[in-house]
Structure 1
């Protein structure tokens, strides 16, 4: 009996010991063989360029594989987390195999941030009824969301956000009725999924009684049922409906959400088209911690109840048509406020100079909100600020002495631009990450920088003195400066050779200063440089060949200097170059054909130099001028992104005779300006293939020949200037196809014939065609001759009237012979007639002589007047 008891107890002890060991050492688990085979089959169907699933091996237990999690006791696979850790280089792709159905205990599936190239979400996922967590967000799925997902009755978390992708079709929903079956759902995100076909989206989602968070950003929704009095959200705490198309007032039912089991804490409605005033019953949502109404069309004054939301931490009401005056009284109850945005409104922020706010802000966005004219001294009390934007706020004052030392704790962004703030910054140490001081009245020598500064914009101020001390300052560490803009100041001296200190620079603008000397070769060490502006200085010498080392250079502006030498052929090697501006220098020689290698070029401006030779025939290689390019991808170098603001590279271009600054739309501009040089030869016929070119200026050269016959193919042309050349021939009829043309100048050439008739070419005044003596037709006052009118008449059909023409000429010839000899015979035999006839001829001779003399005298006078007039108007825009 004792032996039998031992035989029973011992196995139990072994089982308990093994169970305890398993719980203590989960790595000793052995996964189910069927599930292991299923996972290997799943891997086989995937595309894994980064070998993220390299641990998925037949020799290893699947419970130890990357992204696979097993139950601590049973060893069954319960979680599969294959979210992409970051870079697109790590994205999984391929096919989501149905073998996942063999993972019958799987309750967590995350395939987010991968790239499935627009393939549909597999409908078999709706059969995985154990799932409680499903995340397919930003995985580039496309097409209709399968309604079978409505079978996942245990699902608590569903994220299908990021439905927009580069692939077609975008994720969309025909009907959201299936969502009502997800009775356990607590979290739902379908941001960027196209829901415009579902007009009852609100009714469907509000039936989810357990739903706590709802995110429907950028879903193309256009109706929030403003007339609906009540919705059945009983547990909602977060409602995010930004970036949609709501164009009505804020609905009343939103403010009934205060009575739910967990009252609404977060309300996001930014970037819609909501109208009307912010309702007074906003105060019902007393639990609100975040309110974001930014970027709508809301108007009127702010409701008094807004200032009663004592739990408010984030308030974004900027970029609306709100008005009224805000005083310190309004903030008495907002002691928890950490982020305040009233930017781009007509609000007046008027508080006492000794005000001590009840809050400690971390972010303050007040651009274009009236805060001046005095500097807001209450800022000194805010010691937790990380972002400060008081640009365009009407401040006309001297920055107080305490400001720069106080501002040193603002580690992320400080923006004082577009005010009239003054002060001397000589010796001041700037150490904020992003600093915007442009368009103010700051003066003195340049301040010092700490290594952590990445953006410094001090353009359009009154800084003076030599630039070398700034460039050659010794930093306490390696510089992180990426953007430096000190344009439009009074800086002087030569550019130093200290550029090796600033090798992180990507955007450099020193234009509109008094800099002199040569461009140092050491600037070629700025290997990361994407945009370089040195325009409107007094720089001289050649363009240094070391700039070819700046292999990322996308924009080069050296215009308005005294640079000499040839236009370098090595520029053709900088294949990233998209905007080249060298106008108003002293460059000589030919335009090198190597420049045609710049296939991504969209702006070429070498006007007002002394370039000679012919225009290269290969301009048709500028492919982005010939086709519709992907501007957002191709010109990302033009954009500098920072949190809550975007800056754009800008370029001054002379277009349609006017100098204008192009900023945010620069990436869409297509322009060639070769005017005011000594170019000769003809206009290359292949230039007609530049169908996306918008502005072409070849004026003030020595070009000959005719306008290319197929110029009408340049269908995007808005401005064409060929004036003051030696072009000849007729204006091509194809020019009537230039339907976008709004500026045309063909004056002072040798064009002839009739101006083609069209609704386009006749809209320009006569000055567009003046100075072409042989040109006729509207809008010129000179009518075309009768012979020129015959050019448009059809030839007579020889079958109808051809037989009559020979007899006409025969009769005319006989008549001439008879008349001629009749007169001659009479003059030979009749002396009186003969004397009278020759006296008549002498009188005719005298009359012709006098008439010619008078005409010559008038012509000489006209030429003198014309020459004087020509000198008055013969100018070229420089």
Structure 2
């Protein structure tokens, strides 16, 4: 069977009975040599391998490691049976090479001295002969068809470590026979497909188990109380499953437990008080569950605790002062909870070793003296949406080891002190956004990899940045001056800047011509400034660009053809400028190519509204199959709407792609992925800002142009479209009959065109419709009856004098009723909807009426009785009225 070797450190350590090492220095020191038989065995083993990097040119030191970034290439070929000549071989690691075409070397089962084996194999039967095996790693193997793997492996009496990570095991049924894991200490079954409850028998598998790893397995249900039988367990990892219910009190009986990770499950309960008995515990991770109640004050007994992570739960109340006595604590994470109240100096009194403080997204606030000297030196300070202000925290000045500082939405309204900017030179990640911070950035030098100063009161010119900066976001401030000095100040520097957001400031003048020095840029947002001039050709050097937002400025001229070199762009927003000429043809060709391995090459947003473009919309527009926003409103475009709209697959609901923001990681679980494009759209008459929910938008706006012809029927196939605006054009014809198939439509504006005919009955099926404007057309007939269409005001239909029925005031006559009935029944095979039915009904009525009249006219008795009945009926009505 094919063999795929797992990713581990690659070594082939060949030992003899006298612990022979193949290191030249060690061999010389110990005065040892290989026997002739062993040398020949090694040479035969070498000849069977394909060694493209020639790393086995000498056996003076055997190292088969092929880590990421290594200059060596993977070994392949045949694993020679000559290894049997190495009588005393006890350690064999051949993982992370390329033996996928090599049959399973079953002869390895004859290596009786083997104690350590790291392979990724499929056929297990031969392993049972390795009676001395102590370490076995089969990670990455496909064992989902090996139903007897548990019985086979339990036949290894000396086995102490068993690694079965990512082996596609989908069932942990009870063993069919007796198992014999008398020495097993480590069992790793992580990253498999165990979509079941945790089997109770697993906790009795071995009395010597010290490490059990079941993370990322889709495990369900509760943790069994019998877990207390793992009396020697030190490391228990059940994170990233679907476990639920309360946490068992029996966990508190695991006296030797050092690491307990239950994060990313759905436990719903308070933290059990017996957890305070886990006196050996060093790491407690309960983050991302639904824990409620308060933090137990008895946690003060966890004197060895180094990591306490209770983030992303529903814990309430205050933070107990007793946490401040955990003198070994390194990480304290209480973020994203419902905790409230003040954090005082007493909460930190003995936290001498604290390195990570994470209190973001709580209702807590810091209450310390301005001269407070913390007892710790932090590396990670995460205090976003946490009460710090209104004064700037002076205690930060005494922290000399900080790598990450986030104080977004912290209620700080103060002038940033001068010492702070020099202090930030050591920071890797800095986020001070959404406060009321002030100060002049003109002479500031910034060195952090990620800098987010957006939505504050900063002023002055743009700051200077080092070549190390990857993200610079100073949007929504009062920064003025020109952008050229920033771009052209260091012409020979190799800049790493990937995200540049200067939007919503008061920058002026042109963009300069130094973009060639910033070729790492992925996101550029310069929207809502006073920038002018032409878009420079040098922007075509930004080959990695994914979003270019230049909206709400005073750019003129045409869109440079060099921008077509930016073939990975997803977002283009040049709306509300003074650009002219035609929309370039290459812009309609930025479609997703399924033959390209990199799936990032597709245009999702094209917004060019409110410019001076002319010309027509070509059929090539339909090539933009991944488009979610097309906004070409308020221009002078002419011609007809292309009839190929159904080729726009994402709007038709056939393909659904998502933009992945750039991510920059700092620390074990902290990453920057907050930058998302922001677009100002007008989906329902009023301008709205879309950011986090932009990926859900599906919009076409072609309003206020000179488009003519009929609305193409293909538009009805855009079943995922939410907003459609074709108003203020010269469109004619009728509303497509099947427009009601656009089930997700929330806004429909067809006003101020020359559309005629009736409102299609299918529009009554648009249950999500919340904005409708069909005013000023030549529409006629009854407005279809539905919950939605009658909920709009009469203004939605005004300017159509031939429309009748609610909500307009004009009542429908029989003529309109007959016309509507004929329209509803047309073509559906219903006799009552055909014209023949109404003709026949008219003829029948006439024949019956004149037949009755002739009888009354020629028969005196019937005539007297009929008029006597009419007189009696008249008297009866009169009496009733009186």
Aligned equivalent of 1:437: 453
* Change over 3 Å in CA distance of 1:675–1:802 after alignment to 2: closer
* Change over 3 Å in CA distance of 1:448–1:369 after alignment to 2: same
The unaligned stretches of length 5 or more in structure 2 are: 1-14, 51-71, 85-91, 98-104, 592-601, 823-831, 855-882
Deviations 1:124-146 (A, max 9, x none): 25412334323333x37263235
Query: Does structure 1 residue 423 correspond to structure 2 residue 451?
Result: no
Superposition deviation, residue 100 in structure 1: 5.4
Aligned equivalent of 2:590: 574
Query: Does structure 1 residue 158 correspond to structure 2 residue 187?
Result: yes
Deviations 1:551-604 (A, max 9, x none): 111111111111111112111222210111111111111112212111111111
Superposition deviation, residue 153 in structure 1: 4.4
Q: Distance in 1 between matches of 2:210 and 2:425?
A: 43
Q: Distance in 2 between matches of 1:612 and 1:799?
A: 46
Q: Is the 8 A contact 1:31 1:76 kept in 2?
A: no
Deviations 1:299-331 (A, max 9, x none): 111112111111111100111121112222332
Aligned equivalent of 1:388: 405
Deviations 1:165-207 (A, max 9, x none): xxxx66444634233213222212212222224x3x2424331
Deviations 1:780-834 (A, max 9, x none): 22111112223438379799989856756988999xxxxxxxxxxxxxxxxxxxx
Q: Distance in 1 between matches of 2:485 and 2:541?
A: 19
Q: Is the 8 A contact 1:338 1:362 kept in 2?
A: yes
Q: Is the 8 A contact 1:120 1:145 kept in 2?
A: no
* Change over 3 Å in CA distance of 1:774–1:21 after alignment to 2: closer
Deviations 1:254-297 (A, max 9, x none): 11222xxxx11111111111112112212121221110111111
* Change over 3 Å in CA distance of 1:474–1:807 after alignment to 2: closer
Aligned equivalent of 2:767: 739
Superposition deviation, residue 108 in structure 1: 3.1
Query: Does structure 1 residue 516 correspond to structure 2 residue 527?
Result: no
Deviations 1:518-543 (A, max 9, x none): 11111111000111111111001111
Q: Is the 8 A contact 1:145 1:173 kept in 2?
A: no
Q: Distance in 1 between matches of 2:215 and 2:659?
A: 27
Query: Does structure 1 residue 539 correspond to structure 2 residue 566?
Result: no
Q: Is the 8 A contact 1:121 1:145 kept in 2?
A: no
* Change over 3 Å in CA distance of 1:750–1:436 after alignment to 2: same
Aligned equivalent of 1:81: 118
Query: Does structure 1 residue 759 correspond to structure 2 residue 782?
Result: no
Q: Distance in 2 between matches of 1:182 and 1:595?
A: 65
Match for 1:206 among 228, 240, 256? Answer: 228
Please identify runs of 4+ aligned residues in structure 1 that moved more than 6 A.
15-19, 29-33, 68-71, 638-642, 795-803, 808-814
Q: Is the 8 A contact 1:286 1:311 kept in 2?
A: yes
Q: Is the 8 A contact 2:233 2:257 kept in 1?
A: yes
Q: Helix, strand or coil for the counterpart of 2:266?
A: coil
Match for 1:311 among 297, 310, 328? Answer: 328
Q: Is the 8 A contact 1:124 1:148 kept in 2?
A: no
Match for 1:458 among 474, 492, 503? Answer: 474
Match for 1:288 among 292, 300, 305? Answer: 305
Query: Does structure 1 residue 178 correspond to structure 2 residue 202?
Result: yes
* Change over 3 Å in CA distance of 1:699–1:475 after alignment to 2: same
Superposition deviation, residue 31 in structure 1: 7.9
Aligned equivalent of 1:252: 273
Superposition pairs of residues 540-619 of structure 1, within 5 angstroms: 540-575=556-591, 576-619=602-645
Q: Distance in 2 between matches of 1:179 and 1:230?
A: 13
Aligned equivalent of 1:215: 237
The unaligned stretches of length 5 or more in structure 1 are: 1-14, 41-49, 84-94, 164-168, 815-878
Q: Distance in 2 between matches of 1:798 and 1:491?
A: 72
Deviations 1:214-263 (A, max 9, x none): 1111211112346x4774313211111111112221112211222xxxx1
* Change over 3 Å in CA distance of 1:307–1:119 after alignment to 2: same
* Change over 3 Å in CA distance of 1:733–1:476 after alignment to 2: same
Q: Helix, strand or coil for the counterpart of 1:552?
A: coil
Larger fraction in helix: 1
Aligned equivalent of 2:262: 241
Superposition deviation, residue 726 in structure 1: 1.0
Deviations 1:31-69 (A, max 9, x none): 899x99xx99xxxxxxxxx99551544497596855599
Q: Is the 8 A contact 2:782 2:817 kept in 1?
A: no
Query: Does structure 1 residue 703 correspond to structure 2 residue 725?
Result: no
Q: Distance in 2 between matches of 1:709 and 1:350?
A: 65
Q: Between 142-151 and 187-196, report the one with greater CA deviation.
A: 142-151
Match for 2:76 among 30, 54, 70? Answer: 54
Q: Helix, strand or coil for the counterpart of 1:625?
A: coil
Q: Distance in 2 between matches of 1:799 and 1:345?
A: 75
Q: Helix, strand or coil for the counterpart of 1:405?
A: helix
Q: Between 374-383 and 328-337, report the one with greater CA deviation.
A: 328-337
* Change over 3 Å in CA distance of 1:807–1:432 after alignment to 2: closer
Q: Distance in 2 between matches of 1:532 and 1:414?
A: 24
Q: Distance in 1 between matches of 2:93 and 2:313?
A: 51
* Change over 3 Å in CA distance of 1:453–1:728 after alignment to 2: same
Q: Helix, strand or coil for the counterpart of 2:242?
A: coil
Q: Helix, strand or coil for the counterpart of 1:703?
A: strand
Superposition deviation, residue 346 in structure 1: 1.6
Aligned equivalent of 1:110: 137
Measured on the aligned residues, the alpha-carbon RMSD in Å equals 3.5
Aligned equivalent of 1:301: 318
Superposition deviation, residue 494 in structure 1: 0.5
Aligned equivalent of 2:872: none
* Change over 3 Å in CA distance of 1:346–1:66 after alignment to 2: closer
Superposition deviation, residue 96 in structure 1: 2.5
* Change over 3 Å in CA distance of 1:315–1:29 after alignment to 2: farther
TM-score w.r.t. length of structure 2: 0.80
Q: Is the 8 A contact 1:32 1:76 kept in 2?
A: no
Deviations 1:663-713 (A, max 9, x none): 122112211111111111111111111111111111111111111111122
Between the two proteins, the alignment pairs up a number of residues equal to 760
Superposition pairs of residues 314-713 of structure 1, within 5 angstroms: 314-410=331-427, 412-474=428-490, 477-575=493-591, 576-627=602-653, 629-631=655-657, 634-637=658-661, 643-647=670-674, 648-713=676-741
Q: Distance in 1 between matches of 2:843 and 2:375?
A: 108
